[in-house]
Amino acid sequence: MKKLLLAFGLAFAMGAAQGQSDKPNVVLIYVDDLGYGDLSCYGATKISTPHLDRLAAQGIRFTNGHSSSATCTPSRYALMTGQYPWRQSGTGILPGDAALIIPTDRTTLPKVFKHAGYKTGIVGKWHLGIGDAVEKAWNGELKPGPNETGFDYSFIFPATADRVPTVFVRNHKVVALDPADPIAVSYKEKIGNEPTGLENPELLKLKATPNHGHNNTIVNGIGRIGYMTGGKLARWTDEEMPMTFLQEAKDFIKASSKAPFFLFYALTEPHVPRMPSTIFKGKSGLGLRGDAILQLDWAVGEIMNQLEASGVDKNTIVIFSSDNGPVLDDGYLDGAVTQLNGHTPWGPLRGGKYSALEAGTRVPFIVSWPGKIKPAVSDALVCQIDLIASFSKLLNQPVPANDAKDSEDVISALMGQSEKGRSLLVQQGITQLTVVKDGWKYIGPHKGPANTNPKLTNIETGNSMQPQLYHLTVDLGEKNNLAARHPEKVKELAALLESIKAQGK
Q: Using CB atoms within 10 A of its CB, is residue 223 exposed (0-12), middle (13-18) or buried (19+)? A: buried
CA distance 242 to 246: 6
Q: How far is the CB of 15 from ligand NG6 (least distance, A)?
A: 39
Q: Closest CB to Ca ion among 67 and 81?
A: 67
Q: Closest CB to Ca ion among 160 and 392?
A: 160
| Contact yes or no for 191/135 (Cβ under 8 A) | no
Q: How far is the CB of 474 from ligand NG6 (least distance, A)?
A: 31
Q: Which does 160 bind (CB under 5 to 8 A by kind): Ca ion, ligand NG6, none?
A: ligand NG6
Q: Closest CB to ligand NG6 among 223 and 230?
A: 223
415 Cβ contact partners less than 8 Å away, ≥ 6 residues apart? 1, 4, 367, 369, 372, 373, 394
Q: Closest CB to ligand NG6 among 212 and 283?
A: 212
Q: Which does 78 bind (CB under 5 to 8 A by kind): ligand NG6, Ca ion, none?
A: none
Chain contacts with Ca ion (rule: CB under 5 A): 32-33, 72, 323-324
Q: How far is the CB of 404 from ligand NG6 (least distance, A)?
A: 22
Q: Which does 313 bind (CB under 5 to 8 A by kind): ligand NG6, Ca ion, none?
A: none
Q: Which does 434 bind (CB under 5 to 8 A by kind): Ca ion, ligand NG6, none?
A: none
Q: Closest CB to ligand NG6 among 61 and 163?
A: 163
492 Cβ contact partners less than 8 Å away, ≥ 6 residues apart? none
Nearest to 144 by CA among 127, 136, 132, 158: 132
Q: How far is the CB of 299 from ligand NG6 (least distance, A)?
A: 18
Angle at the Cα of 295 from the Cα atoms of 294 and 301, rounded to 5 degrees? 90
Q: Closest CB to ligand NG6 among 144 and 213?
A: 213
Q: What distances in angstroms separate CA 456 from CA 160, 245, 317, 322, one per listed residue? A: 18, 29, 38, 22
Q: Which does 393 bind (CB under 5 to 8 A by kind): ligand NG6, Ca ion, none?
A: none
Angle at the Cα of 233 from the Cα atoms of 229 and 237, rounded to 5 degrees? 90
Q: Which does 225 bind (CB under 5 to 8 A by kind): ligand NG6, Ca ion, none?
A: ligand NG6
Q: Using CB atoms within 10 A of its CB, is residue 99 exposed (0-12), middle (13-18) or buried (19+)? A: middle
CA dihedral angle for residue 276, residue 279, residue 284, residue 289, rounded to 10 degrees = 0
Q: Closest CB to ligand NG6 among 32 and 313?
A: 32
Q: How far is the CB of 288 from Ca ion (least distance, A)?
A: 16
Q: Which does 385 bind (CB under 5 to 8 A by kind): Ca ion, ligand NG6, none?
A: none
Q: Closest CB to ligand NG6 among 111 and 353?
A: 353
Nearest to 478 by CA among 337, 347, 309, 331: 347
Q: Using CB atoms within 10 A of its CB, is residue 101 exposed (0-12), middle (13-18) or buried (19+)? A: buried
Q: Which does 21 bind (CB under 5 to 8 A by kind): Ca ion, ligand NG6, none?
A: none
Q: Which does 330 bind (CB under 5 to 8 A by kind): Ca ion, ligand NG6, none?
A: ligand NG6
Q: Which does 460 bind (CB under 5 to 8 A by kind): Ca ion, ligand NG6, none?
A: none
> Which amino acid, 207?
K
Angle at the Cα of 490 from the Cα atoms of 73 and 35, rounded to 5 degrees? 35
Q: How far is the CB of 159 from ligand NG6 (least distance, A)?
A: 8
CA distance 330 to 457: 6
Chain contacts with ligand NG6 (rule: CB under 6 A): 32-33, 71-72, 93, 127, 160, 162, 212-214, 225, 271-272, 324, 330-331
Q: How far is the CB of 72 from Ca ion (least distance, A)?
A: 4
* C-beta neighbour count of 174 within 10 angstroms: 23
* C-beta neighbour count of 147 within 10 angstroms: 18
Q: How far is the CB of 323 from ligand NG6 (least distance, A)?
A: 6
Q: Closest CB to Ca ion among 35 and 335?
A: 35
Q: How far is the CB of 271 from ligand NG6 (least distance, A)?
A: 6
Q: How far is the CB of 70 from ligand NG6 (least distance, A)?
A: 8
Q: What is the DSSP letter of 82?
A: S
> In the 3-class helix/strand/coil scheme, how is 16-70 assigned residue by residue?
HHCCCCCCCEEEEEEECCCCCCCCHHHCCCCCCCHHHHHHHHCCEEECCEECCEC
Q: Closest CB to ligand NG6 among 33 and 152?
A: 33
Q: Which residue is nearest to Ca ion (CB)?
A: 72
Handedness of CA 329, 335, 338, 344 (dihedral sign): negative
